[in-house]
Structure formats: structure tokens, C-alpha cells
Amino acid sequence: MDVATNGNSSLRPVKSSEIKNANHRTIQSNLINCWRLFIYLSLGGIISILLIKNGWEKVNQQMILISGNDYISKDKILNSIDIELPLITINPKYFESVLLQDLPIKAVKINRSILPPGIHIEILERIPVAYATRNSFGRKEKGMIDYDGYWIPSFASNNINFKKDKAVIIDGWVESHQKSIAHIFRERYTLGSPLQEIIISPNGEISLSTKDFKLIHLGSNQYLLKEQINLLPYLIDSLPEEIKNSKEITIDIKDPTRPKLLTK
């Protein structure tokens, strides 16, 4: 509004060009909004069509990508899960739990893809570090263990080779001794004599066989294991050389406060 000299206001006439510009901006804004709505609806329609078409497509082996498996074959992984289902009905969490239970893997992630339709299975394998055996239904089963003492079935052993001078064997693996086995294996270079074998007897007693000693008896009390492992290198270092060089010597440290040397 314009202010008159006598104190009264007067209306300023609006120019026709300003009205045209305002109308043009309104029309332009409406067109942009219409295009946005059209694009959103079109994309939504395309996604819906893809979801219906690809989502209900039955998964086959050619649509499954597996990564992270160095020694577990694709066939072994797929045989553990019946994943030939419509893509949209697959529950990744369920199949992840099945793979973790059935195969020697530490972690697994399954993702579905609509475009292109498919499944990506990414796994983190347990790495074998030593050969092992265990009693299974009255027979000796061959396998391996990882750094955590976890049992790895023999199907993977064809692709694994350990250097002969560094190979360690676990004889009589049992799940109840998994942590003890892992602890001994981690400390294998600190024992005072190169470790060759970890032996678990049927009654649960642990013994070691090393390069210089026929047997080192640790017994069945796993609560004493750390103390025994810490004691062993000092005990071996204190022995006379002729005893260290005798492969027929057995060390008994079931009671770490009263270690014993046994001969034949």
C-alpha cells in the first residue's frame, strides 16, 4: 500500500505482468509435482512387477553366489540347506542358523536380491590348524580342529596340508575338552619341548607327547591346566641333559606341586 500525504492510505494497482508471472510459477510448480508423482508411481509399479515376477521365481543353483569358502565346496553348502524355494519366501536367518549348526563355519550372512534375482551366501570358515581323531559310534573318525579347538569333519581334509615338522595330532577329541585342547595348542611353542600329540583317554585324562618325552601326563582336572602348562617349561629346563635326550621318559604333573619322572 502507498501512504498519501494527508495520512490516508491508497491501494496500488497490481500490474498484469506480475499476475502472469505468479500464475506461471503456480503452473510450473504443479507440473513438477505431477511429474514427481508420475515418477514415484511408475517406480512403485516397476518394483511391484519385479517383486511379483522375480520374487516368486524359484531359486536354482545358478542363482546362488557363495563367497568365502576356500575348502568347503559349494555342493556341501547347498546340500545342508533346501534353498530351492520361491525367492520371496526364503528366510535368511533360518538358513544361516542351519549352516552354522551343520558346517565348520564361524559366521554366515545370506542376502536376497530381486534385481537380478538371486541369493548371496557369504561365509567365514573355521581354519584347520591340526589333525584330529575322535570316537564316533564305536569307530575312530578322522578330522581336524581349528584354533579354538572346534571339530572340523574330514570332508575338508583333501584341500589341507600341514608341514610335517609342525603337524600336531589330537587323538580322542571330545567336546568337553575343546577349550583345554585349544589352550594347549596355543601354548605349543612354550612347553619346553616341541608338541607332537595331544591324547585324550576315554576317561577324560589328558596327556601330551613331545619330541623329547614319550608322555607328559596332565590328568583330568582341567582347572589345573594353566598351572601345569606354565610349570612345564621350567621343569623341563631343570632336567639333566641325559634325561631330556631320553625319549622313554614320562613326566607326571597331574599334581603340579609334586611332579614325577617315570621310566619304562
Tell me if 126 sits within 8 A of 152, measured CB to CB.
Answer: yes
Helix, strand, coil content of the chain in percent (nearest 5): 40, 25, 35
Residue whose C-alpha cell is 515376477: 53
Which CATH number is associated with domain 61-125? Answer: 3.10.20
Q: Residue 185 and residue 221: Cα distance in Å, rounded? A: 17
- pLDDT tens digits, one per residue of 172-189: 999 999 999 999 999 999
Q: Residue 207 and residue 43: Cα distance in Å, rounded? A: 68
Contacts 24+ apart (CB under 8 A), 105-109: 105/72
- C-alpha cell read off for 26: 503456480
| Residue 240 confidence (pLDDT) | 85
Q: Is the pTM of this model over 0.75?
A: no
| Residue 156 confidence (pLDDT) | 59
| Residue 32 confidence (pLDDT) | 73
- C-alpha cell read off for 167: 603337524
Domain ranges of the chain: 17-55, 61-125, 128-262
Do β-strands 128-136 and 139-146 pair in parallel, antiparallel, or remain unpaired?
A: antiparallel
- pLDDT tens digits, one per residue of 21-78: 556 567 677 677 777 766 765 565 555 555 565 556 777 888 889 999 888 888 889 8
Helices (H), the chain: 16-55, 74-79, 92-102, 178-186, 225-237, 241-244
Which CATH number is associated with domain 128-262? Answer: 3.40.50
| Residue 3 confidence (pLDDT) | 46
Q: In the predicted model, is pLDDT for residue 1 greater than 50?
A: no
Q: Residue 154 and residue 200: Cα distance in Å, rounded? A: 19
- pLDDT tens digits, one per residue of 102-134: 999 999 999 988 778 888 999 999 988 999 999
Query: Which residues have C-beta within 8 Å of that of residue 222, sequence separation ≥ 6?
Result: 177, 179, 180, 206
Residues in the chain: 264
